[in-house]
Structure 1
Amino acid sequence: MAASRANDKQPIASVWTRPERRKRDQPALSRSQIVAEAVRLLDEEGIGALSLRRLGTRLNAGATSFYSHVANKDELIELVVDEVYGEIAVPEAGAPADWRADAARCAQSLRAALLAHPWMASVLGEVGVSQLGPNVMRVSAGMLGIFQAAGLPADEADLAFSTLAAYVIGMSISEASWLTALARSGRSEQDWAAELWPAAEAAAAAHPGLRERYAALPAKDPRTLRDEKFGYGLDRVLDGLAGAVGQRAG
């Protein structure tokens, strides 16, 4: 009955919508210790290795010692997602003319955080309400401020941020998934490209446009190609948003 009443007070199941459980004695582990070790585990072994039991082993603590901070695995994932968002740099909104450079810096920082933690590709948007986390809130508020400083009203600034974030997350998730698969294969990007190249040439033989494009690829580092693709798309998204900013200014 008590559990039922507790659930009634928490309409949405999330670590961000319930008070932390209290113990008479000070918990042996802090939430920050638990989250930091969970991120290390995920970085080293991936999402498939994450469990409260496995984490307890790494921390030399029983899973029950977590429950004052984390009720279940979904809550733990909400916490580690927010922890990664803490790595994202968001410039303070400056002069209206600076909005594009500021938005680009934030976009690049978001991409860097997602690629530094490839497991994020498999959890973003899938569990809980991570958007309520303090670091996610900080990033969202900062980006809204940048677009509002550019001259967009609050509702359109929110749409502009959503558009930019959708591009960055979509591209980064694809990259992160690829890098994860590459790591499992034991190959470097350069090794993979060199091994694939003969098959790619053969497949493109009947397509002159592709054949011409592929002819230029071996000279480029695969990471450089990924950076170029991301940068091109980011510029085009910002071009579109610049049009909206210009209409408001006009």
Structure 2
Amino acid sequence: MPRDTLTKKQIVDTAIELLDEEGLEGLNMRALGKRLSSAATAVYWHVKNKDNLVLLAGDQVWDEIELPDLAAVDWRAAAVRMATGLHAMLARHPWLVQAMGSHVIYGPGKARHDDRILAVYETAGFTGPEADRASAAVFTYVLGSALAASATASLTRRLARDADGAEQALQEAMAQAREVALRFPRLRTRLDTPAAAGYNASPEQTFELGLRALLDGLETELGTAQAPSTAAAG
């Protein structure tokens, strides 16, 4: 695609597709140019370098998260919707978790999300730093929950590149991990019963349980903080 017809949006959209398939380690200007049927030099005309491209792609995917109307839903429903939306987005783009560990991801897409999530917790009654901490606690939980999907995607790509060697290494590692776990009574019980697969079989339920417990805690803290002022007013 000639330089004068190639757009930044086309480049970023294609970069996201490449990142979804190949991960952060699979993104390079040559591979991107091939997908765009364009020379790598044409890509550089619109994007400075790989780091700049990761930043643009990393910001754009935040636009996929639906922002709830705070006039239509209560704060807790809005918080759940945004947390599950973020979790789903990170599952679609597992490379973003890795990118956030090595890049400062910023831009209008992420800022749009961050501004609304602060509004959610301010609507709940948190003020100033309290709203910052509440939103950060939920964000950290969602990010941590997405690590497993990111690691699985990376491992799957490794297995695809080196099917024989990587598969054997994985089996050996799993066997060694099981051997270690069997030395500990609670882990041994879970490994030796059908319930052992329960967590892996229902990660969504585990995520929902943790999110509910976290929001319960925030709601309790909010009520406790508001109680003295309510009593004083009475």
Equivalent residues in 2 for 1:107-146, closer than 5 Å: 107-127=83-103, 129-131=104-106, 133-146=107-120
Query: Which of 69, 88, 106 in structure 1 is aligned with 2:82?
Result: 106
Query: Which of 133, 138, 148 in structure 2 is aligned with 1:159?
Result: 133
Q: What amino acid does structure 1 have at the position aligned with 2:130? A: E
Query: Which of 227, 234, 247 in structure 1 is aligned with 2:204?
Result: 227
- Does residue 147 (structure 1) correspond to residue 121 (structure 2)? The answer is yes
Structure 2 residue aligned with 1:217? 195
Q: What amino acid does structure 2 have at the position aligned with 1:106? A: M
Q: What amino acid does structure 2 have at the position aligned with 1:63? A: A
Supply the RMSD in Å over aligned alpha carbons.
2.9
Structure 2 residue aligned with 1:171? 145
Instruction: Output the CA distance in 1 between the equivalents of 2:197 and 2:40.
Output: 51
Alpha-carbon deviation of 1:168?
0.8
Structure 2 residue aligned with 1:82? 59
Structure 2 residue aligned with 1:16? none
8 Å CA contact 1:94–1:149 kept in 2: the answer is no
Q: What amino acid does structure 2 have at the position aligned with 1:65? A: A
- Consecutive unaligned residues of structure 2, counting only runs of 5 or more, are 164-170, 228-234
The size of the alignment, in residue pairs, is: 216
8 Å CA contact 2:98–2:150 kept in 1: the answer is no
8 Å CA contact 2:190–2:196 kept in 1: the answer is no
8 Å CA contact 1:152–1:245 kept in 2: the answer is yes
Instruction: Output the CA distance in 2 between the equivalents of 1:198 and 1:94.
Output: 53
Q: What amino acid does structure 1 have at the position aligned with 2:92? A: A
Q: What amino acid does structure 2 have at the position aligned with 1:71? A: K
The structure carrying a bigger helix percent of its residues is 2
- Consecutive unaligned residues of structure 1, counting only runs of 5 or more, are 1-25, 188-193
8 Å CA contact 2:22–2:157 kept in 1: the answer is no
Cα deviation 1:57-116 (Å, max 9, x = unaligned): 211112232334311111100011112211112212247x82222111211111111111
Structure 1 residue aligned with 2:231? none
Alpha-carbon deviation of 1:38?
0.5
Instruction: Output the CA distance in 2 between the equivalents of 1:221 and 1:167.
Output: 17
Aligned identity (percent) is: 36
Q: How does the TM-score come out when normalised to structure 1?
A: 0.74
Cα distance change of structure 1 residues 45 and 150 upon mapping to structure 2, 3 Å threshold: same
Query: Which of 30, 45, 51 in structure 1 is aligned with 2:28?
Result: 51
Q: How does the TM-score come out when normalised to structure 2?
A: 0.79
